[in-house]
Amino acid sequence: MVRRGSNRLKLTRFAIGPVRPLTAYAKPATPPPGGSIDGGAASVTVPFRLLNNHIYAQVSVNGKGPYTFIVDTGGIL
Q: List pLDDT tens digits, range 44-70.
A: 898 999 998 899 999 888 889 999 999
In angstroms, the CA 31 to CA 41 distance is: 16
- Look at residue 48 in the predicted model and tell me its pLDDT: 95
**55 belongs to a structural domain:** yes
Is the pLDDT at 1 greater than 70? The verdict is no
Name the domain count of the chain: 1
Structural domain boundaries enclosing 69 = 46-77
In angstroms, the CA 46 to CA 26 distance is: 24
Assessment of whether the complete model's pTM goes beyond 0.85 = no
- Phi, psi (degrees; rounded to nearest 5) at 36: -160, 160
**64 belongs to a structural domain:** yes
**41 belongs to a structural domain:** no
**40 belongs to a structural domain:** no
Mean pLDDT of 6-26: 87
Mean confidence (pLDDT) of the chain? 85
Pick left, alpha or beta for residue 29 (phi over 0 → left; psi -120 to 50 → alpha; otherwise beta): alpha
